[in-house]
Amino acid sequence: QSALTQPASVSGSPGQSITISCTGTSSDVGSYNLVSWYQQHPGKAPKLMIYEASKRPSGVSNRFSGSKSGNTASLTISGLQAEDEADYYCCSYVGFSTGVFGGGTKLTVL
């Protein structure tokens, strides 16, 4: 159960698009389409933004999209807004009812 690999930080200007990667192995991300993405603002509980690699829960802006290729999943945020500034975490199912998170990525909106 090694943590998934995410960049420590990414940044972008309002209106731009950014992509956060989440790299695992053939035993986790590569084996299951069960990758989720979470947004966490300081002092708040995480919020589900993407599940099953590319599905968006109701109420989540369509500016957020997810994809997966091989052992790497990605979260793309288009039309960046100030309120998107937060920490983002990916999470993958790894079999036998277990999961693993990525180390997290701090998004700064310039």
Partner 1 sequence: EVQLVESGGGLVQPGRSLRLSCAVSGFTFGDYAMHWVRQAPGKGLEWVSGISWNGGLIGYADSVKGRFTISRDNAKNSLYLQMNSLRHEDTALYYCGKDIAVTVTTGIDYWGQGALVSVSS
Query: Does position 104 bind partner 1 by CB under 8 A?
Result: yes
Distance CA 17, CA 4 (A): 23
Query: Which position among 15, 70, 79, 103 is part of the footprint of partner 1 (CB under 8 A)?
Result: 103
Query: Which position among 23, 38, 68, 73 is part of the footprint of partner 1 (CB under 8 A)?
Result: 38
Judged by beta carbon, residue 36 or residue 80, the one nearer partner 1 is: 36
Judged by beta carbon, residue 53 or residue 77, the one nearer partner 1 is: 53
Query: Does position 42 bind partner 1 by CB under 8 A?
Result: no
For partner 1, how many residues bind (rule: CB under 8 A)? Answer: 26
Amino acid 45 reads A
Radius of gyration of the chain (CA): 13
Distance CA 23, CA 7 (A): 10
Judged by beta carbon, residue 14 or residue 41, the one nearer partner 1 is: 41
Per-state percent for the chain, helix, strand, coil, to nearest 5: 5, 50, 45
Query: Does position 40 bind partner 1 by CB under 8 A?
Result: yes
CA dihedral (45, 91, 73, 103) positive or negative: positive
Query: Does position 34 bind partner 1 by CB under 8 A?
Result: yes
